[in-house]
A and B are shown apart, each in its own frame.
Chain A
Amino acid sequence: MNQIKDRQEAIIEEFSMLDSNMEMALNYIIELGEELPVFPEEERVDENIVKGCQSKVWLTASFTDGHILYKADSNTAITRGLVSLLVRVLNQSSPQDVINAEIYFPKHIEMDRFIGTQRSNGFASMTKQMKMYAVAFLAKQGA
């Protein structure tokens, strides 16, 4: 759990250095997106599309040794960057930690200023989908 919190604190720290400059923040976001691991072509299918996002977002998750590994991608550069932030925060955590996680960094970095409210809603859909995977893995683990 602390790991999820620490990662969010790190993101807040990084964005605070951008001095609320919108263009610098966007530049930083797309750089982060470029570092996202390549999304497997065969998984770029409709079933993996997150509903409720304005641009296309693909998300998959796998479960090994009690930890979830998320993979994600988007057809827009800014969204890919934003998605990479969520992946970074939640990756390699236990299903219980993901379910319990409170995602507060978007508010702290004033994300809706950079991406608008519609996209912020998409971000919430993305978070929800990641938690759904965690719920499913937890159920499987318990079974």
Chain B
Amino acid sequence: MEVTTHDIDIQSLRKRFPVLNQKVNGKPLIYFDNAASSQTVDTVVKSLIEFYEKDHANIHRGIHTLAERSTKKFEETRESVRYFINSSEADEVIFTKGTTESINLVAHSWGSVNLKEKDEIILSQIEHHSNIVPWQLIAQKTGAKIKVIPINDRGELIIEEYEKLLSPKTRLVAFNYISNSLGTINPAKEIVTLANEVEAVTLIDAAQAAPHTKIDVQDLNCDFLAFSGHKMYGPTGVGILYGRREILEAIPPYQGGGEMIKDVSFGGTSYNDIPYKFEAGTPNIGEVIAFKSAVDFINELGHPVIESHENELLRYATNKLSALEGFIPIGTAKNKASVISFLIEGIHAYDLGQFLDAKGIAARTGHHCTQPLMEYLGIDGTVRVSFSVYNTKEEIDIFINALKNIISKLR
């Protein structure tokens, strides 16, 4: 289905994000740092307020009315996430506090009982630190080794090189669906299929993908998939870990405490069933409940509409930027999400970022938590703009003019 930008009424959509309507340093805010965190949609905020004003109670623990109500709503979010990623059952959906915690959970719980010396973990050159460091920690403990899928000049994974890394020693392949630094959309299904051939477990970091593209864990056929609520118009402090039932049942808990047990005695403790086995303690109840409104928001708009709008902005901005003298794009994958990392010849990224901020434009400067990638590219950082469903071409025009002005000043 071909969808056009006209399918969204941007102005009324923007009203649902009150934060956008403000001045920063005397200029109307232009928020282009969506890959770091997107703004929160009004229904999420409303739901949060409603929880704290009407429903606040701990879940799964009481029989009183408020506890029943909050438990029911909490579990409703789990069901809507199940639907969102098309997993076959809601028990395969675990709430964490973010992508980072989801990956740490897998590295710890799965890694501690499945990795041994000389086993290999395959990551890619374009991973976020949160999909590198947890693996380094478990590799140090178990003696497993980390191998890295290289990239080509456009910032795409080289699949032939990946195939060469795969072997019977490969125990796990973990990679991002969409790169937060370069915007590269990786061929996730192909990467999983190849990993399955050597019976390696797969984890997809879908932090950037969840707000942008339809995720179907059954179609992807991955074992684990992680993402964060705050990058998809939802609240902070909510993350998702999808895990395949057989694996989740076979691995030990991540943390111990309330909720995750069946029976506790000093002689020994038996654990609760999934997903509760992995949800020790009181979770971010209000935020998880409110997160459902973010999922609903995306479902109502529909990924095709979101994708087509964001791709249109990407095309528009890329064309305008390319016309600027000295523009150096960092990452030019053929299949790319609405993330543009760049440098301007002769001007330091920090100076650009600071002047953009002075003009009310929120862009990100630095290594974007991908230092191994920056080191590989031989740069210490980039300026990154990332567009969301509520951004407009007018904002891009203002941004381009601001950039021209800054360039003329700093050259």
Contact = CB atoms under 8 A, between A and B. Distances in A.
Given A21-B26, A77-B410, A26 B348 contact: no
Interface in A69-116: 75-79, 114-116
Contacts of B357: 22
B347 to A, nearest CB: 8
Interface residues of A, number: 17
B334 interface: no
* Chain A interface SS verdict (over half): helix
Nearest to A115: B354
Counting chain B residues whose Cβ lies within 8 A of the other chain, the interface size class is 10 to 19
B351 interface: yes
A23, A26, A30: which has the most chain B beta carbons within 10 Å? A23
A22 B26 CA distance: 9
A78 B349 CA distance: 11
Nearest to B410: A77
A27 interface: yes
Interface string B202-236: 00000000000000000000000000000000000
B351 A77 contact: yes
A62 interface: no
B25 A79 contact: no
A115 B358 CA distance: 10
A116 B353 CA distance: 11
Given A27-B409, A30-B409, A76 B351 contact: yes
Contacts of A55: 348, 350
B350 A54 contact: yes
Contacts of B359: 23
25 contacts: A22-B25, A22-B357, A22-B358, A23-B25, A23-B355, A23-B358, A23-B359, A26-B355, A26-B358, A27-B409, A30-B409, A30-B410, A55-B350, A75-B348, A76-B351, A77-B347, A77-B348, A77-B351, A77-B410, A78-B350, A78-B354, A79-B350, A114-B358, A115-B354, A119-B350
